[in-house]
Structure 1
Protein backbone atom coordinates (compact mmCIF):
# COMPACT_ATOMS: atom_id res chain seq x y z
CA UNK A 1 0.00 0.00 0.00
CA UNK A 2 2.67 2.58 0.82
CA UNK A 3 4.50 1.60 -2.36
CA UNK A 4 1.50 2.56 -4.59
CA UNK A 5 0.72 5.75 -2.65
CA UNK A 6 3.99 7.48 -3.61
CA UNK A 7 3.26 7.87 -7.36
CA UNK A 8 -0.24 9.11 -6.55
CA UNK A 9 1.15 11.71 -4.19
CA UNK A 10 3.63 12.81 -6.81
CA UNK A 11 0.83 13.08 -9.36
CA UNK A 12 -1.25 15.27 -7.05
CA UNK A 13 1.82 17.39 -6.39
CA UNK A 14 2.38 17.87 -10.12
CA UNK A 15 -1.25 18.85 -10.63
CA UNK A 16 -1.03 21.33 -7.75
CA UNK A 17 2.15 22.94 -9.11
CA UNK A 18 0.70 23.13 -12.63
CA UNK A 19 -2.44 24.75 -11.27
CA UNK A 20 -0.37 27.34 -9.44
CA UNK A 21 1.55 28.16 -12.59
CA UNK A 22 -1.64 28.55 -14.62
CA UNK A 23 -3.16 30.77 -11.97
CA UNK A 24 -0.11 33.02 -12.02
CA UNK A 25 -0.01 33.42 -15.85
CA UNK A 26 -2.75 36.08 -16.32
CA UNK A 27 -0.93 38.85 -14.36
CA UNK A 28 2.10 38.62 -16.66
CA UNK A 29 -0.22 38.82 -19.69
CA UNK A 30 -1.94 41.91 -18.27
CA UNK A 31 1.42 43.55 -17.53
CA UNK A 32 2.56 43.05 -21.12
CA UNK A 33 -0.71 44.48 -22.45
CA UNK A 34 -0.44 47.49 -20.13
CA UNK A 35 3.14 48.20 -21.25
CA UNK A 36 2.10 47.94 -24.90
CA UNK A 37 -0.78 50.34 -24.29
CA UNK A 38 1.55 52.84 -22.62
CA UNK A 39 3.95 52.63 -25.54
CA UNK A 40 1.18 53.14 -28.10
CA UNK A 41 -0.26 56.22 -26.34
CA UNK A 42 3.05 58.05 -25.80
CA UNK A 43 2.82 61.69 -27.03
CA UNK A 44 5.45 62.57 -29.68
CA UNK A 45 7.76 65.47 -28.84
CA UNK A 46 7.24 68.40 -31.23
CA UNK A 47 10.20 70.43 -32.50
CA UNK A 48 9.72 74.16 -31.80
CA UNK A 49 9.80 76.52 -34.79
CA UNK A 50 13.00 78.60 -34.70
CA UNK A 51 12.55 82.32 -34.15
CA UNK A 52 13.01 84.45 -37.28
CA UNK A 53 16.40 86.11 -37.61
CA UNK A 54 18.32 88.28 -40.04
CA UNK A 55 21.88 87.86 -41.29
CA UNK A 56 24.25 90.69 -42.11
CA UNK A 57 25.68 89.31 -45.33
CA UNK A 58 28.36 91.90 -46.10
CA UNK A 59 29.55 95.45 -45.44
CA UNK A 60 31.75 97.48 -47.77
CA UNK A 61 32.42 100.97 -49.07
CA UNK A 62 33.91 103.05 -51.85
CA UNK A 63 35.26 106.59 -52.05
CA UNK A 64 32.79 109.23 -53.22
CA UNK A 65 33.20 112.94 -54.10
CA UNK A 66 32.15 113.90 -50.55
CA UNK A 67 33.96 111.15 -48.64
CA UNK A 68 32.81 107.52 -48.61
CA UNK A 69 29.57 105.70 -49.27
CA UNK A 70 29.15 102.48 -47.29
CA UNK A 71 26.76 99.62 -48.02
CA UNK A 72 25.32 96.80 -45.93
CA UNK A 73 23.44 93.83 -47.40
CA UNK A 74 20.97 92.01 -45.15
CA UNK A 75 19.61 88.51 -45.77
CA UNK A 76 16.27 87.25 -44.43
CA UNK A 77 16.21 83.41 -44.49
CA UNK A 78 13.03 83.19 -42.39
CA UNK A 79 9.39 82.70 -43.44
CA UNK A 80 8.29 86.10 -42.14
CA UNK A 81 8.84 89.64 -43.38
CA UNK A 82 11.27 91.85 -41.48
CA UNK A 83 10.02 95.43 -41.14
CA UNK A 84 11.94 98.59 -40.25
CA UNK A 85 15.28 96.81 -40.21
CA UNK A 86 17.76 99.08 -38.42
CA UNK A 87 21.36 98.81 -39.59
CA UNK A 88 24.42 100.54 -38.16
CA UNK A 89 27.68 100.98 -40.07
CA UNK A 90 30.93 102.21 -38.52
CA UNK A 91 34.16 103.35 -40.13
CA UNK A 92 37.18 102.04 -38.20
CA UNK A 93 40.92 102.69 -38.23
CA UNK A 94 43.68 100.09 -38.56
CA UNK A 95 43.45 99.32 -34.83
CA UNK A 96 39.72 98.62 -35.05
CA UNK A 97 38.69 101.82 -33.26
CA UNK A 98 35.50 103.46 -34.54
CA UNK A 99 36.00 106.77 -36.31
CA UNK A 100 32.36 107.49 -37.17
CA UNK A 101 28.99 105.76 -37.02
CA UNK A 102 25.92 106.06 -39.21
CA UNK A 103 22.58 104.25 -39.05
CA UNK A 104 19.84 103.62 -41.58
CA UNK A 105 16.61 101.67 -42.00
CA UNK A 106 15.42 99.18 -44.61
CA UNK A 107 11.63 99.44 -44.70
CA UNK A 108 11.06 95.76 -45.48
CA UNK A 109 13.00 92.61 -46.30
CA UNK A 110 10.61 89.88 -47.42
CA UNK A 111 10.92 86.18 -46.54
CA UNK A 112 13.81 84.59 -48.42
CA UNK A 113 14.83 88.01 -49.77
CA UNK A 114 17.76 90.40 -49.35
CA UNK A 115 17.85 94.11 -48.73
CA UNK A 116 20.49 96.83 -48.71
CA UNK A 117 21.17 100.21 -47.18
CA UNK A 118 23.64 102.90 -48.27
CA UNK A 119 25.07 105.46 -45.83
CA UNK A 120 27.31 108.44 -46.57
CA UNK A 121 30.45 109.11 -44.49
CA UNK A 122 31.96 112.60 -44.87
CA UNK A 123 35.72 112.97 -44.87
CA UNK A 124 37.03 113.01 -41.30
CA UNK A 125 40.37 113.72 -39.67
CA UNK A 126 41.56 110.17 -40.32
CA UNK A 127 40.93 107.92 -43.29
CA UNK A 128 39.11 104.69 -42.41
CA UNK A 129 40.85 101.36 -42.88
CA UNK A 130 37.64 99.36 -42.93
CA UNK A 131 33.88 99.46 -42.40
CA UNK A 132 31.89 97.21 -40.07
CA UNK A 133 28.17 96.82 -39.51
CA UNK A 134 25.48 95.35 -37.30
CA UNK A 135 21.70 94.88 -37.22
CA UNK A 136 20.26 96.69 -34.22
CA UNK A 137 16.60 95.72 -34.54
CA UNK A 138 13.58 94.81 -36.67
CA UNK A 139 9.87 94.03 -36.44
CA UNK A 140 8.40 90.80 -37.79
CA UNK A 141 5.17 90.17 -39.68
CA UNK A 142 3.75 86.92 -41.04
CA UNK A 143 1.22 88.61 -43.35
CA UNK A 144 2.96 91.70 -44.73
CA UNK A 145 2.22 92.44 -48.40
CA UNK A 146 5.17 92.06 -50.80
CA UNK A 147 6.69 95.05 -52.55
CA UNK A 148 4.57 96.26 -55.48
CA UNK A 149 7.59 97.21 -57.58
CA UNK A 150 10.32 94.58 -57.75
CA UNK A 151 13.77 94.49 -59.32
CA UNK A 152 13.92 92.04 -62.21
CA UNK A 153 17.61 92.31 -63.13
CA UNK A 154 20.70 94.51 -62.81
CA UNK A 155 23.91 94.82 -64.82
CA UNK A 156 27.03 96.96 -64.65
CA UNK A 157 27.67 99.54 -67.39
CA UNK A 158 31.35 100.23 -67.95
CA UNK A 159 32.15 103.92 -68.37
CA UNK A 160 35.39 105.63 -67.38
CA UNK A 161 33.65 108.85 -66.34
CA UNK A 162 30.26 107.78 -65.05
CA UNK A 163 30.09 104.07 -64.23
CA UNK A 164 26.52 103.00 -63.61
CA UNK A 165 24.19 100.06 -63.10
CA UNK A 166 21.24 99.42 -65.39
CA UNK A 167 18.22 98.16 -63.45
CA UNK A 168 15.03 96.67 -64.82
CA UNK A 169 12.15 97.08 -62.38
CA UNK A 170 8.57 95.82 -62.74
CA UNK A 171 5.57 97.46 -61.07
CA UNK A 172 2.90 94.83 -60.33
CA UNK A 173 0.39 97.38 -59.04
CA UNK A 174 -2.21 99.56 -60.74
CA UNK A 175 -0.61 102.95 -60.13
CA UNK A 176 2.78 104.63 -60.04
CA UNK A 177 5.10 103.64 -57.22
CA UNK A 178 7.96 105.65 -55.73
CA UNK A 179 10.93 103.34 -55.19
CA UNK A 180 14.36 103.79 -53.62
CA UNK A 181 16.86 101.71 -55.60
CA UNK A 182 20.18 100.72 -54.06
CA UNK A 183 22.85 99.23 -56.32
CA UNK A 184 25.64 97.16 -54.74
CA UNK A 185 28.68 96.04 -56.75
CA UNK A 186 30.89 93.06 -55.89
CA UNK A 187 34.35 91.80 -56.82
CA UNK A 188 35.27 88.20 -57.64
CA UNK A 189 36.04 87.45 -53.97
CA UNK A 190 32.53 88.43 -52.88
CA UNK A 191 33.46 91.79 -51.34
CA UNK A 192 31.42 94.95 -51.78
CA UNK A 193 33.41 97.42 -53.89
CA UNK A 194 30.87 100.20 -54.30
CA UNK A 195 27.41 101.11 -55.45
CA UNK A 196 24.89 103.92 -55.57
CA UNK A 197 21.35 105.04 -54.73
CA UNK A 198 18.54 106.57 -56.75
CA UNK A 199 14.86 107.29 -56.14
CA UNK A 200 12.54 106.76 -59.13
CA UNK A 201 8.84 106.74 -59.97
CA UNK A 202 7.83 103.48 -61.64
CA UNK A 203 4.60 103.21 -63.60
CA UNK A 204 2.45 100.07 -63.90
CA UNK A 205 4.07 98.76 -67.07
CA UNK A 206 3.86 95.03 -67.73
CA UNK A 207 7.18 94.97 -69.57
CA UNK A 208 8.94 96.83 -66.76
CA UNK A 209 11.03 99.99 -66.76
CA UNK A 210 14.77 100.45 -67.12
CA UNK A 211 16.67 103.03 -65.08
CA UNK A 212 20.36 103.69 -64.48
CA UNK A 213 22.07 104.36 -61.16
CA UNK A 214 25.42 106.11 -61.08
CA UNK A 215 27.80 104.23 -58.80
CA UNK A 216 31.01 104.93 -56.93
CA UNK A 217 33.35 101.95 -57.26
CA UNK A 218 36.85 101.09 -56.05
CA UNK A 219 37.49 98.71 -58.95
CA UNK A 220 35.66 97.24 -61.92
CA UNK A 221 33.11 94.88 -60.35
CA UNK A 222 32.38 91.30 -61.29
CA UNK A 223 28.65 91.82 -60.82
CA UNK A 224 26.15 94.31 -59.43
CA UNK A 225 22.86 93.73 -57.61
CA UNK A 226 19.98 96.12 -57.10
CA UNK A 227 17.46 96.30 -54.26
CA UNK A 228 14.21 98.24 -54.37
CA UNK A 229 12.04 99.50 -51.52
CA UNK A 230 8.74 101.29 -52.02
CA UNK A 231 8.21 104.58 -50.19
CA UNK A 232 4.50 105.03 -51.01
Structure 2
Protein backbone atom coordinates (compact mmCIF):
# COMPACT_ATOMS: atom_id res chain seq x y z
CA UNK A 1 0.00 0.00 0.00
CA UNK A 2 1.31 3.46 -0.90
CA UNK A 3 1.15 6.09 1.83
CA UNK A 4 0.99 9.82 1.10
CA UNK A 5 2.51 12.05 3.74
CA UNK A 6 0.63 15.00 5.15
CA UNK A 7 3.06 17.35 3.40
CA UNK A 8 2.63 15.60 0.05
CA UNK A 9 -1.14 15.63 0.46
CA UNK A 10 -1.05 19.32 1.24
CA UNK A 11 1.04 20.04 -1.85
CA UNK A 12 -1.28 17.95 -3.99
CA UNK A 13 -4.32 19.78 -2.64
CA UNK A 14 -2.63 23.13 -3.14
CA UNK A 15 -1.70 22.25 -6.73
CA UNK A 16 -5.24 21.07 -7.44
CA UNK A 17 -6.69 24.30 -6.03
CA UNK A 18 -4.25 26.35 -8.08
CA UNK A 19 -5.17 24.40 -11.22
CA UNK A 20 -8.87 24.94 -10.60
CA UNK A 21 -8.23 28.64 -10.02
CA UNK A 22 -6.30 28.92 -13.30
CA UNK A 23 -9.06 27.11 -15.21
CA UNK A 24 -11.74 29.34 -13.67
CA UNK A 25 -9.75 32.47 -14.56
CA UNK A 26 -9.38 31.25 -18.16
CA UNK A 27 -13.10 30.49 -18.38
CA UNK A 28 -13.95 33.95 -17.03
CA UNK A 29 -11.49 35.49 -19.48
CA UNK A 30 -13.22 33.80 -22.40
CA UNK A 31 -16.65 35.08 -21.39
CA UNK A 32 -15.49 38.64 -20.85
CA UNK A 33 -13.32 38.55 -23.96
CA UNK A 34 -16.32 37.58 -26.09
CA UNK A 35 -18.19 40.66 -24.88
CA UNK A 36 -15.20 42.97 -25.37
CA UNK A 37 -14.52 41.56 -28.83
CA UNK A 38 -17.94 42.74 -30.02
CA UNK A 39 -17.47 46.09 -28.31
CA UNK A 40 -14.17 46.77 -30.11
CA UNK A 41 -14.98 45.12 -33.45
CA UNK A 42 -15.37 48.42 -35.32
CA UNK A 43 -12.26 50.23 -34.05
CA UNK A 44 -9.94 48.89 -36.77
CA UNK A 45 -11.87 50.56 -39.59
CA UNK A 46 -10.34 53.99 -39.11
CA UNK A 47 -6.77 52.74 -39.39
CA UNK A 48 -7.68 50.65 -42.42
CA UNK A 49 -9.04 53.73 -44.19
CA UNK A 50 -5.91 55.72 -43.37
CA UNK A 51 -3.45 53.11 -44.64
CA UNK A 52 -5.46 51.41 -47.39
CA UNK A 53 -3.30 52.96 -50.12
CA UNK A 54 0.00 51.66 -48.72
CA UNK A 55 1.68 48.89 -50.73
CA UNK A 56 2.33 45.77 -48.70
CA UNK A 57 4.79 42.91 -49.10
CA UNK A 58 3.89 39.21 -49.00
CA UNK A 59 4.22 37.73 -45.54
CA UNK A 60 6.48 34.73 -45.03
CA UNK A 61 6.11 33.03 -41.63
CA UNK A 62 9.48 32.63 -39.91
CA UNK A 63 10.96 32.26 -36.47
CA UNK A 64 13.06 34.93 -34.77
CA UNK A 65 16.61 34.55 -36.01
CA UNK A 66 17.99 38.10 -35.96
CA UNK A 67 17.91 40.59 -33.10
CA UNK A 68 19.33 44.04 -34.00
CA UNK A 69 22.09 45.61 -31.95
CA UNK A 70 21.48 48.79 -29.97
CA UNK A 71 22.51 51.13 -32.77
CA UNK A 72 20.34 49.39 -35.37
CA UNK A 73 17.40 49.20 -32.98
CA UNK A 74 17.62 52.94 -32.22
CA UNK A 75 17.58 53.84 -35.92
CA UNK A 76 14.68 51.47 -36.53
CA UNK A 77 12.68 52.95 -33.67
CA UNK A 78 13.20 56.48 -34.96
CA UNK A 79 12.00 55.38 -38.40
CA UNK A 80 8.87 53.85 -36.88
CA UNK A 81 8.10 57.00 -34.88
CA UNK A 82 8.40 59.09 -38.03
CA UNK A 83 5.95 56.82 -39.83
CA UNK A 84 3.46 56.97 -36.97
CA UNK A 85 3.60 60.76 -37.09
CA UNK A 86 3.30 60.88 -40.87
CA UNK A 87 0.14 58.77 -40.87
CA UNK A 88 -1.46 60.32 -37.78
CA UNK A 89 -1.36 57.08 -35.82
CA UNK A 90 -1.02 56.32 -32.13
CA UNK A 91 0.46 53.34 -30.31
CA UNK A 92 -1.22 51.89 -27.26
CA UNK A 93 1.95 50.68 -25.59
CA UNK A 94 2.00 47.22 -24.06
CA UNK A 95 4.47 45.72 -21.63
CA UNK A 96 7.83 44.54 -22.98
CA UNK A 97 7.78 41.37 -20.92
CA UNK A 98 8.20 38.90 -23.76
CA UNK A 99 4.44 38.75 -24.33
CA UNK A 100 4.15 41.95 -26.38
CA UNK A 101 2.90 40.33 -29.60
CA UNK A 102 0.12 38.55 -27.72
CA UNK A 103 -0.63 41.63 -25.62
CA UNK A 104 -0.95 43.82 -28.73
CA UNK A 105 -3.26 41.31 -30.41
CA UNK A 106 -5.28 41.09 -27.18
CA UNK A 107 -5.68 44.86 -27.15
CA UNK A 108 -6.90 44.85 -30.73
CA UNK A 109 -9.35 42.02 -30.10
CA UNK A 110 -10.65 42.93 -26.66
CA UNK A 111 -9.57 46.50 -25.91
CA UNK A 112 -7.15 45.33 -23.22
CA UNK A 113 -3.71 43.74 -23.30
CA UNK A 114 -4.51 41.70 -20.20
CA UNK A 115 -5.97 38.81 -22.19
CA UNK A 116 -2.58 37.92 -23.65
CA UNK A 117 -2.58 34.53 -21.89
CA UNK A 118 -5.83 33.62 -23.60
CA UNK A 119 -4.49 34.79 -26.98
CA UNK A 120 -1.29 32.78 -26.54
CA UNK A 121 -3.25 29.68 -25.55
CA UNK A 122 -5.47 29.95 -28.63
CA UNK A 123 -2.45 30.46 -30.92
CA UNK A 124 -0.66 27.43 -29.47
CA UNK A 125 -3.86 25.41 -29.91
CA UNK A 126 -3.90 26.48 -33.56
CA UNK A 127 -0.27 25.38 -33.96
CA UNK A 128 -1.09 22.00 -32.44
CA UNK A 129 -4.26 21.29 -34.42
CA UNK A 130 -2.94 22.41 -37.82
CA UNK A 131 0.66 21.28 -37.67
CA UNK A 132 0.94 20.70 -41.43
CA UNK A 133 0.38 24.41 -42.14
CA UNK A 134 3.23 25.68 -39.99
CA UNK A 135 5.76 22.86 -39.58
CA UNK A 136 7.70 23.71 -42.73
CA UNK A 137 8.62 27.12 -41.32
CA UNK A 138 10.10 25.79 -38.06
CA UNK A 139 13.89 25.07 -38.02
CA UNK A 140 13.65 22.78 -34.98
CA UNK A 141 11.55 19.89 -33.75
CA UNK A 142 7.97 21.08 -34.07
CA UNK A 143 6.81 19.78 -30.70
CA UNK A 144 9.72 21.55 -29.03
CA UNK A 145 8.79 24.80 -30.78
CA UNK A 146 5.14 24.48 -29.77
CA UNK A 147 6.02 23.82 -26.13
CA UNK A 148 8.37 26.81 -26.14
CA UNK A 149 5.65 29.09 -27.50
CA UNK A 150 3.24 27.93 -24.78
CA UNK A 151 5.46 29.54 -22.13
CA UNK A 152 4.60 33.02 -20.89
CA UNK A 153 7.35 35.46 -21.77
CA UNK A 154 8.42 33.62 -24.93
CA UNK A 155 8.66 36.07 -27.83
CA UNK A 156 6.11 35.63 -30.58
CA UNK A 157 7.41 35.46 -34.15
CA UNK A 158 6.05 35.60 -37.69
CA UNK A 159 4.77 32.02 -37.43
CA UNK A 160 2.66 32.86 -34.38
CA UNK A 161 1.39 35.94 -36.24
CA UNK A 162 0.20 33.69 -39.05
CA UNK A 163 -1.35 31.27 -36.56
CA UNK A 164 -3.13 34.18 -34.86
CA UNK A 165 -4.48 35.43 -38.19
CA UNK A 166 -5.77 31.92 -38.93
CA UNK A 167 -7.20 31.33 -35.46
CA UNK A 168 -9.06 34.63 -35.17
CA UNK A 169 -10.02 34.92 -38.84
CA UNK A 170 -8.30 38.31 -39.02
CA UNK A 171 -5.98 40.10 -41.39
CA UNK A 172 -3.08 41.33 -39.24
CA UNK A 173 -1.55 44.56 -40.55
CA UNK A 174 1.88 45.66 -39.37
CA UNK A 175 3.22 49.18 -39.63
CA UNK A 176 6.90 48.35 -39.35
CA UNK A 177 10.29 49.95 -38.88
CA UNK A 178 11.72 47.97 -41.81
CA UNK A 179 13.84 50.17 -44.05
CA UNK A 180 12.49 48.82 -47.35
CA UNK A 181 8.78 48.64 -46.53
CA UNK A 182 6.59 50.05 -43.82
CA UNK A 183 3.57 47.80 -44.28
CA UNK A 184 3.14 44.02 -44.00
CA UNK A 185 -0.13 42.07 -44.20
CA UNK A 186 -0.71 38.63 -42.68
CA UNK A 187 -3.79 37.09 -44.28
CA UNK A 188 -5.57 34.04 -42.83
CA UNK A 189 -5.32 30.76 -44.75
CA UNK A 190 -8.36 29.57 -46.71
CA UNK A 191 -10.83 32.06 -45.25
CA UNK A 192 -12.03 35.60 -45.78
CA UNK A 193 -10.84 37.88 -42.95
CA UNK A 194 -13.67 38.94 -40.67
CA UNK A 195 -11.75 41.95 -39.32
CA UNK A 196 -8.37 43.66 -39.28
CA UNK A 197 -5.91 43.92 -36.41
CA UNK A 198 -3.42 46.78 -36.59
CA UNK A 199 -0.07 46.53 -34.85
CA UNK A 200 3.09 48.59 -34.89
CA UNK A 201 6.24 46.51 -35.17
CA UNK A 202 9.56 47.83 -33.98
CA UNK A 203 11.24 45.20 -36.08
CA UNK A 204 12.29 42.10 -34.11
CA UNK A 205 12.11 44.09 -30.85
CA UNK A 206 8.57 45.03 -29.83
CA UNK A 207 4.90 45.15 -30.85
CA UNK A 208 2.28 47.70 -29.83
CA UNK A 209 -1.41 48.11 -30.63
CA UNK A 210 -2.16 50.70 -33.29
CA UNK A 211 -5.02 53.19 -33.68
CA UNK A 212 -5.79 56.33 -35.57
CA UNK A 213 -5.25 59.19 -33.13
CA UNK A 214 -8.67 60.78 -33.70
CA UNK A 215 -10.46 57.46 -33.40
CA UNK A 216 -8.54 56.61 -30.23
CA UNK A 217 -9.53 59.81 -28.47
CA UNK A 218 -13.21 59.25 -29.21
CA UNK A 219 -13.63 55.51 -28.85
CA UNK A 220 -10.82 53.81 -26.95
CA UNK A 221 -11.64 53.14 -23.33
CA UNK A 222 -9.37 50.38 -21.98
CA UNK A 223 -11.01 47.80 -19.78
CA UNK A 224 -9.06 46.45 -16.82
CA UNK A 225 -9.73 43.64 -14.47
CA UNK A 226 -7.57 44.39 -11.46
CA UNK A 227 -8.07 40.95 -9.94
CA UNK A 228 -6.61 39.02 -12.88
CA UNK A 229 -2.93 39.39 -12.11
> What TM-score results when the alignment is normalised by the length of structure 1?
0.20
Task: Tell me which protein shows more strand as a share of its residues.
Answer: 1
Task: Tell me which protein shows more helix as a share of its residues.
Answer: 2
- The one of the two structures with greater contact order (alpha-carbon pairs below 8 A, sep at least 6) is 2
> What TM-score results when the alignment is normalised by the length of structure 2?
0.20
Bigger radius of gyration: 1
